[in-house]
Structures are given as C-alpha cells and as structure tokens.
Amino acid sequence: MNSTVKEIQEHFRHLRMAETANGLPHLLRKAEQSSWTYQELLEELLTFELKRREEKNVERRLKWAKFPYQKTLDEFRIDEQQSISSRQINQLRELNWLEQQYNLILLGPPGVGKTHIAIGLGLEAIYKGFKVSFITMGELVHLLKTEEYLSKSKTQLKRLRESDLVIIDDLMYLAMDQREANLFFHLINHLYERSSVILTSNKGPKQWGELMGDQGITTAILDRILHRVEVIHLNEDSYRIKHRSTIFKEKSVQN
C-alpha cells in the first residue's frame, strides 16, 4: 500500500483508464478535503472515467460526421417556418424514427432550413450515441466513382456505410448518368433496413426520375427509400433572404 501516486497512475494507464490516471491527483485531493469514504472515492473515480470517455466518444463521432457547420434544433426558429410545428420538431428530436430505421425526406426551395434541421437532428443522434455521416450528393457521387482507386474515398465510404444515420444533402442537385445512378442504388440498397437516411432536396421524388436518367434504377431506389419514410415539406420564403445583411442603412435603400 505504499505505491506513490505516480505508480498508481501508471497502473491506471496500463488498464487503459487514462482519464482517471490524469485526474487522479486532483481526485485524491478532493477525497481528502471532503473526507470521502472508500466507497465514495471509488464511485467518483469510476463516474469520472465514464463521463470523460463519453465526452471523448461524442467528440469522435462529431469529427466523423463531417458536418459543414453545427447548428442545433434549439437554434431553429419555428416562428420563421410555418410548415413545421414545434410538436413535430420535438417528435423528430426523440429519434424514434432512427431507432426504427425510418428515413426522412426534407423538401423545399433553397434557404428554408432543410440542411439546418438535418444537422440539428444529426447532432441529437450523436449525443444519444449514434454514428452519423453527413455528405452532399455531389461529394457522394465523387466518392462512389473514385472508391476503387482512391483509398481516401474508400475510407470515407466505409464510415458512411457503418453509420446509423446518413444525411445526404441536396439530392438531385445535379443530374446523374447511368453509372452514377447505379452506384447510388447500391449504396441505398446497402443502407436499406440497416440505417436511416435523411435526404434533402428541392425537388420531389416524382422529379427524381428525370434526373437519374434510368427509370428502372429510380424505381428501385425509391422503392427502398420510400418503404419507411416521413416526408416533410418546408415551404416558406428563404430565411437567408429574409434575414440577409445589407451594407446599406435601411433609409438609403429607399432612395
């Protein structure tokens, strides 16, 4: 029982409890100051380790998700978007749809908050322990086309396929050729009933066929995506345009 604190720290590191190892001097001081019982000390040590590990896991999952920006659902102003209610947002926030591998499709013109809501839900999922990947359709097509010969693309797609939630932003922003549509179909087929997908698009599923070129593939893709889906239509003026900043003072604009 006469190990020095340094030796005990080494033991903790050996047991892969690096957080406790680092925090040990502080925890021991607190134990003395507050006259913790042995049981209290043990409990504090273990909760400390578990809490730090969870924080690190959240950080890791956040990095993995590759969000273009982080905006929460709390930052989303319901009063500015009449086509979705706070009840619906709260229901989505509970993530039952994710547990049941439902997909979400967020439709609407640019600037109405599709990407914001998708990221907000992605953040909620990460805090609840799910693995999330965010990608734009343009990037995704590029990864799929280069997967065979670019190890970077291969790694990113591996992560994407292992995610519990895949957010594909701006679907159908660009028209796809048959090979691209085929690759996309294989990905959707892999994710089907294994993960949830959030798709954002400014065009409805009926118009997707025109952009994918091949009706057979489009039908096969839609079949899988629409099997279990919630479609949310966002229809408002662009938040960006309503709240755009201007370099002119309001009065001078009227001149």
Kindly list the residues in this chain that would bind ligand ADP in the complex (CB under 6 A).
Answer: 71, 76-77, 80-81, 108, 110-116, 200, 239-240
* Shortest distance, position 118 Cβ to Mg ion, whole Å: 8
Select 156 or 200, whichever has its Cβ closest to ligand ADP: 200
Site for Mg ion in 97-116 (CB under 5 A): 115
Nearest alpha carbon to residue 194 among 169, 223, 164:
164
* Shortest distance, position 251 Cβ to ligand ADP, whole Å: 26
Residue 166 near residue 197, CB atoms below 8 Å:
yes
| From ligand ADP, Mg ion, none, interface partner of 240 (C-beta below 5 to 8 A by class) | ligand ADP
As a whole number of Å, the CA-based R_g of the chain is: 24
- If one asks whether residue 136 binds Mg ion (CB under 5 A), the answer comes out as no
Residue 225 near residue 187, CB atoms below 8 Å:
no
Residue 242 to residue 188: CA distance in whole angstroms: 36
| From Mg ion, ligand ADP, none, interface partner of 239 (C-beta below 5 to 8 A by class) | ligand ADP
Select 67 or 76, whichever has its Cβ closest to ligand ADP: 76
* Shortest distance, position 89 Cβ to Mg ion, whole Å: 17
Nearest alpha carbon to residue 217 among 169, 182, 244:
182
In sequence order, what are the residues at sequence separation of 6 or more whose Cβ sits closer than 8 angstroms to the Cβ of residue 8? 24
- Residue ranges binding Mg ion (CB under 5 A): 115
